[in-house]
Every structure is written in C-alpha cells, then in structure tokens.
C-alpha cells in the first residue's frame, strides 16, 4: 500500500512537470544551453573521476546502446498507454511508428556523417620515437589510400571533419522522451485509468531521460570537443524539429503518424478507459 501510494505521488509529480506547457516549449533551449556551456565544466571537474574513463559502466552499458534502451522503454509506454485507451492495435502501431521514423532518420544521418568523415579525412601514423619540439606532440606520417576502418584497425589515427554521434544520439533521445512522455500529464488530468504497470513504465522513461541528461553532461565536461559536440547537438535538435515540430503535425495520414497523444487525449476515451479499468477491477475482486 505504501509503495503504491509513493508510486502514484511520484509519477503524478513527474507527469505534471513533463506535461507542463512551459517545459515542453523550452526543453530544447535547456539542451542548447548545456551544449554551449557544458564544456566549460571541464575546468572544475577532476580528470581522476571514474566518469573521466570511457570504460565506465554507464558508458559501456547505456551509451553504446542508447537508442535500444530508448525504444524499449518509450515503445512499451506508448503501446500500453494507447492500447489501454482505445484497444486498437492499428492505432497503437501508428503511434509506435514515430519511433521507427526517428530511428530511420538517426541511422540515415549517421551514414551521412560516416561518408563525410571518410571523404574529408586522412590516415596518419604517429611516430612515438620522434616528438615535435614546438608542442611536444608526436609527429604524424600521412598514409594515403587508407579508409577509416582500415586505418583504425591498423592502430593509426584518422583525422577528418567529425560530428559527435554520441551527443547527437543523446540530444535526440532526450527530446523524443520529453515529447512522448508529456502526454501522461494531460491523460491523468482527464481522468484516465492509470494502473501500476503503466505508471512504472512512465517512471522508467523519466529515469532514462535523467540518465541521458547526466551522460550528456559527463561527455561535455570530461571529454570536451566543442565544435564536434555542438554540431552533434545541433543535428539532434534539427532532427527533433523536423519530426515533432514539422512532419508529425501534418497527420494523421497514411504517410504521417501524427503527434503524440493525437486521438487519445479526449475526455470520452479517457473516461471509457477508466470505466473499463473499474469494471475489470470489480470483476477480479
């Protein structure tokens, strides 16, 4: 009983915060501020911290598979919420297709970034035995005709125009999580049914959103690469704006899934879901 009360209070607070209009309209500005001034934290953080190592558990476990974690939790929440309201698989899959489209756009941009880096980069072999007197850095010998994959496999350095794919992914996932979970607050305000599984899924999404923001701060503070990270964040914000502020507002239709909550957030649907939930509860009782 105590755990259920705590779950209800915690999820209600998080839902009303994420569903607030001010938060939804200015969350991308918060990420922009983090991208602009986050690298400045490198002057205050300790390079001996456990987060200053790329082998840390959070980086290995979550950062390398960030899109997978986002799809699992957001997809589960979107499916359970939409299906509990309308009991329509086609409607649930239509809302889930937003994740598929966002994933396709992310993969497409990653392929383009790889092509750009391969086209503009060169392979260098560091000469450890010889050092440059002016800056103390090892001299680099150019190896022509090497691709990025061949260069890195040979243990050499690849230098080209880079865009941080990690920052790109984290910014896109944060904005996607904020958009998809924002519908839970209005849903509760309309009196929609909210049993423990749905609230737990929503809470997992909130925890994941905070984890992505924390990892983004760690990357900016402990591994500052201002131009590449800024470009990655800008690309993530651009992807969100193209999808959620542009394309998804044109639907729903056969080519557009529509915005989050479209067709779900109306008093009649929420009341029907609440009545069905109460009937099921009474029958089980």
Q: What are the residue boundaries of the structural domains of the chain, listed by start?
A: 2-119+167-280, 122-159
Q: How confident is the model at residue 77 (pLDDT cuts 50, 70, 90)?
A: very high
Q: Which residues of 242-269 are buried (b: 16+ CB within 10 A; e: fewer)?
A: ebbeebbeeeeeeebbbbbbbbbbeeeb
Q: Within its chain, how far is the Cα of 199 from the centroid?
A: 20
Q: What is the pLDDT of residue 131?
A: 45
Cα(57)–Cα(54) distance, integer angstroms: 9
- Average per-residue pLDDT for the chain: 85
What confidence score (pLDDT) does residue 132 get? Answer: 47
Please enumerate, as own/partner, the contacts of 49-54 that have beta carbons within 8 Å and a separation of 24 or more. 49/222, 51/218, 51/222, 52/222, 54/223
> What pTM does this model have?
0.87
Q: Which of 238, 235, 240 is nearest to 259 (CA)?
A: 240
Strands (E), 48-121: none
Nearest of 87, 78, 107, 56 to residue 211 by alpha carbon: 56
> What digits encode the pLDDT tens for the residues 10-41?
999 999 999 999 998 899 999 999 999 999 88
Q: What is the mean pLDDT of residues 148-167?
A: 81
- What would the two tokens of residue 79 be? 């499916």
Inform me whether the pLDDT recorded for 270 exceeds 70.
Answer: no
């Amino acid at each position: 009983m105590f755990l259920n009360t705590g779950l209800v209070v915690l999820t209600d607070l998080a839902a009303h915060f994420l569903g607030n209009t001010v938060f939804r309209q200015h969350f991308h500005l918060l990420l922009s501020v983090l991208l602009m001034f986050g690298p400045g934290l490198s002057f205050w953080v300790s390079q001996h911290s456990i987060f200053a190592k790329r082998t840390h558990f959070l980086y290995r476990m979550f950062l390398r598979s960030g899109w997978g974690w986002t799809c699992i939790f957001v997809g589960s929440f979107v499916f359970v919420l939409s299906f509990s309201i309308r009991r329509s698989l086609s409607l649930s899959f239509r809302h889930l297709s937003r994740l598929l489209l966002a994933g396709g756009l992310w993969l497409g941009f990653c392929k383009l970034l790889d092509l750009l880096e391969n086209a503009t980069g060169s392979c260098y072999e560091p000469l450890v035995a010889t050092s440059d007197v002016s800056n103390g850095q090892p001299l680099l010998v150019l190896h022509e005709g090497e691709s990025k994959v061949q260069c890195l496999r040979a243990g050499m350095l690849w230098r080209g125009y880079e865009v941080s794919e990690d920052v790109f992914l984290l910014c896109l996932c944060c904005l996607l999580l904020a958009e998809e979970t924002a519908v839970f607050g209005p849903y509760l305000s309309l009196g929609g049914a909210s049993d423990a599984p749905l609230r737990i899924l929503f809470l997992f999404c909130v925890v994941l959103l905070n984890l992505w923001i924390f990892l983004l701060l760690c990357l900016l503070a402990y591994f500052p690469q201002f131009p590449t990270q800024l470009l990655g964040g800008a690309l993530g914000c651009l992807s969100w704006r193209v999808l959620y502020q542009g394309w998804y507002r044109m639907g729903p239709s056969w080519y557009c899934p529509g915005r989050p909550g479209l067709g779900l957030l109306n008093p009649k649907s929420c009341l029907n879901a609440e009545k069905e939930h109460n009937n099921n509860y009474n029958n089980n009782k």
